[in-house]
């Protein structure tokens, strides 16, 4: 019997992958939660909205660029050296970066620390999803990977309450993240390598060659589409939820919206959505049908966000949660990325695809902030609506041309 058919959904590799993603999300979202107090602690005047926006955009963009670079680096390592090499190496790097962030003294240092953290964070989800996909039988891997993402996404909730329970000590929050990484490293010792990878390692095939995605037209098309189907997640989180206090001011004036709390509500709902979509995918025996259902929910939530119903703090938080649930297709989207490619490129695909989507946030910001608002002088609402239309149009076209992968056998290689 193949190794990948010997484990269950609640096995140690699945749980450790889920806890790894939990720590990953804690660190990834921590800046958006501690943004204002951390910038204030570094001397940025909070009443200077332009300075706050410039500093926060710089830091988050540097983190996202780190994710892009790290996605390629860890993806190739995962296919060349093994899935476990990434799980150990990536968390070691971002744990060190977390501790370093706790001691930064300038915005420039902050950006560099988050850049290094971004490189480390890039490897966690892709390697975990790849390992779980290869260890579980195909009739269970959708539920297994959804469980990984569902548990992991509660890391955002934990980050928010850690910030509150430490009396908003943002430096301590980063140090706690580093400590969580060290604990996770110890848990990872008991996890076994993928049997599929071991078999592929014995074959005379190229492994982890990122440029193979661009040397074959069909493979490039699959890779490009795998990225585009995930775009709505970071539009929702990076624009709507992240700037929920600014939207609230435009929609109904004076408000007390905390972006960190909005993110916490959104990610709690995303976590639930990720588990639900795995079960729906299992029911339909289709990744695409489940994904389409959530796209429809997302479009409905976008209408609700920009509607007159969004007229109070309580309603804004509720809508952020609904938006989060509707974009709870992160696990399915990453799983589809892993399932599209052979074992010798699977970790590279599963690691780079989500980080390409994360790395799209600076481009979405460029369109939303720099083009529509600053150059074309559009208002916040008009810019947000047009950005949503562009993102969803691209995503739905990509979805139409994306292959179904539910029943796909993963034990093959790319030539």
Percent with pLDDT over 90 in the chain: 59
The string of DSSP letters for 193-205 reads PPHHHHHHHTSSS
**Type and span of the H or E element at 333:** helix 330-339
Whole-model pTM: value is 0.86
Q: How far apart are the first and last CA of the chain?
A: 26
Predicted confidence (pLDDT) per residue in 285-298, tens digit: 999 999 999 999 99
d(CA 117, CA 371): 29
Band (196; pLDDT cuts 50, 70, 90): confident
User: What is the residue-averaged pLDDT of the chain?
Assistant: 90
Band (361; pLDDT cuts 50, 70, 90): confident
Cβ(368)–Cβ(384) below 8 Å: yes
| pLDDT, position 3 | 43
d(CA 129, CA 101): 27
Domain extents in the chain: 3-401
| pLDDT, position 206 | 85
| pLDDT, position 403 | 94
Arithmetic mean of pLDDT, 225-240: 94
For 167, the 3-state DSSP assignment is coil
For 292, the 3-state DSSP assignment is helix
Whole-Å CA distances, 207 to 104, 175, 203, 259, 355: 38, 36, 10, 42, 20
d(CA 238, CA 244): 10
| pLDDT, position 218 | 94
d(CA 131, CA 263): 28
Torsion over CA: 19, 13, 127, 294 (sign): negative
Dig out the tokens for 307 from the structure: 């509607």
d(CA 42, CA 12): 41
Cβ(316)–Cβ(257) below 8 Å: yes
| pLDDT, position 6 | 54
The CB-side HSE value for 179 (13 A sphere, CA atoms) comes to 7
Question: Under CATH, which architecture does the 3-401 domain have?
Answer: Up-down Bundle (1.20)
Arithmetic mean of pLDDT, 58-68: 88
Predicted confidence (pLDDT) per residue in 137-189, tens digit: 877 888 888 889 889 889 989 999 999 999 999 999 999 999 999 998 888 87
Predicted confidence (pLDDT) per residue in 309-332, tens digit: 999 999 999 999 999 999 999 889
Whole-Å CA distances, 111 to 54, 60, 104, 108: 12, 8, 9, 5
DSSP code, position 402? P
Task: Give Cβ neighbours of residue 216 (< 8 Å, ≥ 6 apart).
Answer: none
Angle at 141 between CA 136 and CA 145, to 5 degrees: 110
Predicted confidence (pLDDT) per residue in 18-43, tens digit: 998 899 899 988 998 898 899 999 99
pLDDT at position 1 over 60: no
Length of the chain: 415
């Amino acid at each position: 019997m193949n190794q990948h058919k010997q484990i269950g959904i609640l096995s140690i590799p699945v749980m450790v992958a889920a806890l790894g993603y939990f720590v990953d999300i804690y660190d990834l979202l921590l800046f958006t939660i501690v943004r204002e107090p951390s910038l204030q602690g570094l001397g940025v005047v909070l009443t200077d909205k332009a300075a706050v926006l410039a500093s926060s955009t710089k830091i988050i963009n540097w983190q996202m660029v780190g994710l892009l670079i790290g996605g390629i680096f860890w993806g190739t390592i995962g296919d060349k050296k093994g899935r476990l090499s990434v799980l150990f190496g990536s968390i070691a790097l971002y744990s060190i970066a977390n501790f370093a962030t706790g001691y930064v003294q300038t915005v420039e240092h902050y950006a560099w620390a988050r850049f290094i953290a971004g490189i480390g964070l890039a490897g966690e989800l892709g390697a975990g999803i790849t390992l779980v996909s290869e260890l579980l039988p195909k009739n269970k891997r959708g539920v297994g990977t959804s469980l990984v993402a569902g548990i992991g996404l509660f890391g955002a909730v934990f980050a928010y309450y850690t910030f509150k329970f430490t009396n908003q000590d943002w430096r301590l929050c980063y140090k706690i993240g580093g400590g969580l990484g060290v604990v996770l490293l110890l848990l990872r010792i008991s996890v076994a390598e993928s049997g599929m990878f071991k078999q592929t390692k014995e074959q005379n095939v190229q492994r982890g060659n990122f440029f193979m995605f661009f040397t074959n037209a069909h493979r490039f098309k699959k890779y490009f589409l795998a990225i585009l189907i995930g775009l709505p997640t970071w539009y929702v989180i990076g624009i709507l939820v992240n700037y929920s206090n600014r939207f609230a001011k435009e929609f109904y004036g004076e408000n007390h919206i905390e972006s960190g709390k909005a993110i916490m509500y959104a990610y709690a709902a995303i976590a639930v959505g990720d588990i639900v979509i795995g079960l729906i995918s299992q029911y339909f025996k289709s990744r695409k049908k489940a994904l389409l259902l959530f796209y429809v929910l997302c479009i409905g939530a976008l209408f609700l966000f920009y509607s007159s119903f969004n007229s109070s703090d309580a309603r804004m938080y509720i809508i952020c949660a609904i938006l989060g649930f509707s974009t709870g297709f992160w696990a399915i989207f990453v799983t589809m990325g892993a399932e599209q490619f052979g074992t010798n490129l699977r970790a590279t695909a599963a690691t780079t695809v989500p980080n390409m989507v994360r790395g799209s946030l600076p481009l979405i910001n460029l369109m939303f902030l720099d083009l529509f608002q600053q150059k074309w002088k559009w208002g916040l609402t008009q810019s947000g609506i047009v950005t949503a239309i562009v993102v969803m149009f691209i995503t739905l076209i990509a979805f139409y041309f994306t292959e179904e992968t539910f029943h796909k056998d993963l034990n093959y290689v790319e030539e």
